[in-house]
Structure 1
């Protein structure tokens, strides 16, 4: 499919889809509800009119907190129709974090459902000055009922621009306070156009909406689908977290495209009995390193799709990618590279002073291009954004080294600690533990409040007894004595966040 010409705003993808494929199914959710492109377009228009009539427009933000459902997608697009930006809230976030986000972004209107509203009220939220709009219970026909309740005479349409804020995604800030990443329509479109063309998303595709809508992976799920006239299947939260049920979901709905963090794919790979036939043609993963042993098992379980490793923080969206050769060779032990730059991005590797390093030397990855955001909500200047050679760059804080196969990922700078004078990369420890024959999962954290970091390794085994002595002996052989963790903790399973990544904060609480 050719690139959309003159595309400047995300909601115009829906205008185009509703015109070209009005009766094609746009989105389905776990309650049995489905909307065609015409129905989604009409509902988004009503949301936009509702907001505009309440003088919500350019430069403002609209929040929503609810289960993943068709109406949430209409809310995202309808908010843009009014010229505003959307702020998705995580239902599983603690009351303190929700309170911080609502206080930071200053939304005047919050869309929610009955369950989420009860959760908010129990925590004394959302607080004064925020009007709540409660959607009817989700299910077949709920969008139609809500559309009728939203009936508003069409007000004058705003004249938004591509530089306007499209959405605000909150990430964990280094100070402990969540930070809202400001993503404009132009930022998002540069990525969506690249991804839709690179992965040849078409009307024949059925895309699994695995990611929560507050996670940046959902941008591909929603907007690459709509841009291409494909069909989006939103996985309910309980299903998205259950590796036992996902293979049946893929087969039942003839899913062709999957995008998620590696952790959930790794959990599926560990269950070889889940080899349900499916029509997957494309498996994308991003957000963390995919242990090569698990990736090898997955490609055996699902041998037919094409696999890609995508890389990019929320501040840049995806900026590098690598195709994974399948089957993964038996003798490969190291994770695959994060690949080469996407066509819409420029990258460079720098030292601590932001000076470029020689080819093949490790350094810190920086990204420039139209997908790099303008900054953070309410923060005028952040040193991670800087100018060099006439371009504006974002400093990812990730250590990489260039190679013929693309950039090798060396971990985050803030995942490096010093212990007894030695620099230790926690990701390296995790990868080494993952090679231990009886270890199926591992995660490592460090307490840096002491003069010498105290390192704790969490391990999940395949049922075979693993002693501290055995684990220490393995680490000594693989890594050397100075890299042996101070203690090992056995778990039945590693905790994961709602976005599918390892929950390192949860592991820290386990230690405290």
Structure 2
């Protein structure tokens, strides 16, 4: 029985020592070399006397960063990735919440850490290769590790803008990866093209499914996503056959017509999640790559990665939403109404709640927010059972597939009507002139505002939208912007858009 995610890498290093584990623009590393690198990191940390404490990684997305993750786990500690491009003010907020014992960084970025509120131990990744591995110490730590010990803490933004640290443990990851490897058909022949930042939960599947199966993780340079043709050329050059990206990344490729310029028929499977994938952009990918398999996934960080999945198995109209689908393995889903009664009939909306071993233990050093989000199952009166309230509204369709209806906090009351802003976005993006959009509510002016990219005829768009949504849902204002701002996870940055109201 596996109880520590470090066992994935060890077993694969024994089974396939010379297979490429990770490749990036100018380098690559085998599983055997990666294991040794990680254990050298672990030994360096162990020598500092740290145990069961938080360690920040402040490194570019790279082989070094993945080795640091694994090494921190081998040392009996847990990691928090911080993006090197993150504003210093937010870095300080995370440091003040986390109170980390150690930071692993490099010579280029250590100066930034020294300017922050951090006052602990700094380990330079460049110095690790001089460390002699202490297998006895690492083995002793492993024997005292249990599967509820933390592996990492990822920080998300709360509604107040204050970062919340989501704790994820070994059991959470093992439970999810066992399902993902089977459901997504990941094996030793898979070459996974990484887009997600390592501080975003999608990267959990990228990293640990490769550790488990001996698949290869190909880190696509972040700058290439600004020039989609370069990203596709990288995919073709390295024969990448599996992509798990946020929809904004797929949309950017299709909007720039990059699929017409580079043949990436090597790609056999795409997975998308984190936000809504417009059908028209999915169709562009399917038309460009015959036989392409696609899957829509959904899940909050508080439930590790994903809690639902939907393999695309039928045609959808451009004004339709792709279903969230079905529960992932060993995941319990409940739809609750405003009175905490379970909804089982089709077409009735409620809040999606989750139970199972996918659930995070809660938020780091924040008992109040943990108590609000992780609550007793109101349907269970007999013993303690925690559920997580996602804040997402869903319903069952006639096929009993889950369908996303928007965030509870994206639901507005306008002219006496309750309105889902996501429904307005879906209506707008069903028209060919609207590649991507975002709908917000201006509380001060009491207006529905639709942000769209490019120059469009606002009157024509409103006229078209009248055919698919009621008048009371029509935008009061349409704002054209050159490009849609994205946050560090690659999703639409609603905070920045809100500042433009």
TM-score for both structures, normalised by structure 1: 0.91
1:27 aligns with 2:22: yes
| 1:416-435 alignment runs, 5 A limit | 416-435=411-430
Instruction: Identify the residue that residue 318 of structure 1 maps to in structure 2.
Output: 306
SS of residue matched to 1:373 = coil
Q: 1:92, 1:454 → 2: CA distance?
A: 34
Instruction: Identify the residue that residue 171 of structure 2 maps to in structure 1.
Output: 186
Single out whichever of 259-268 and 275-284 deviates more from structure 2. Answer: 275-284
Q: 1:115, 1:302 → 2: CA distance?
A: 40
Q: 1:302, 1:311 → 2: CA distance?
A: 24
Instruction: Show CA shifts across 1:478-507 (max 9, x none).
Output: 323221222211112211123221111121
Instruction: Identify the residue that residue 324 of structure 2 maps to in structure 1.
Output: 338
Instruction: Identify the residue that residue 163 of structure 1 maps to in structure 2.
Output: 148
Taking a change above 3 Å as real, the CA distance of residues 134 and 242 of structure 1, as seen in their structure-2 partners, is farther
Instruction: Show CA shifts across 1:433-460 (max 9, x none).
Output: 1123322211111233x3x733221112
SS of residue matched to 1:439 = coil
Taking a change above 3 Å as real, the CA distance of residues 354 and 385 of structure 1, as seen in their structure-2 partners, is farther
In structure 2, stretches of 5+ residues that fail to align are none
Instruction: Identify the residue that residue 253 of structure 2 maps to in structure 1.
Output: 268
Instruction: Identify the residue that residue 376 of structure 2 maps to in structure 1.
Output: 387
SS of residue matched to 1:349 = strand
Instruction: Identify the residue that residue 466 of structure 2 maps to in structure 1.
Output: 476
Task: Indicate conservation of the 8 Å contact 1:365/1:398, yes or no.
Answer: yes
Task: Indicate conservation of the 8 Å contact 2:335/2:394, yes or no.
Answer: yes
The correspondence for 2:158, drawn from 156, 170, 173, is 173
Q: 2:89, 2:302 → 1: CA distance?
A: 24
Instruction: Identify the residue that residue 33 of structure 2 maps to in structure 1.
Output: 39
1:87 aligns with 2:80: yes
CA-based RMSD of the aligned residues comes to 1.8
The correspondence for 2:488, drawn from 472, 475, 498, is 498
Instruction: Identify the residue that residue 406 of structure 1 maps to in structure 2.
Output: 401
Task: Indicate conservation of the 8 Å contact 2:95/2:118, yes or no.
Answer: no
Single out whichever of 217-226 and 414-423 deviates more from structure 2. Answer: 414-423
In structure 1, stretches of 5+ residues that fail to align are 1-5, 137-145
SS of residue matched to 2:431 = coil
Instruction: Identify the residue that residue 12 of structure 2 maps to in structure 1.
Output: 17
Shift of 1:85: 0.6
Instruction: Identify the residue that residue 109 of structure 2 maps to in structure 1.
Output: 116
Task: Indicate conservation of the 8 Å contact 1:337/1:405, yes or no.
Answer: no
Q: 1:459, 1:494 → 2: CA distance?
A: 8
Task: Indicate conservation of the 8 Å contact 1:476/1:483, yes or no.
Answer: no
Shift of 1:230: 1.1
Instruction: Identify the residue that residue 497 of structure 2 maps to in structure 1.
Output: 507
Single out whichever of 209-218 and 418-427 deviates more from structure 2. Answer: 418-427
1:355 aligns with 2:345: no
SS of residue matched to 1:383 = helix
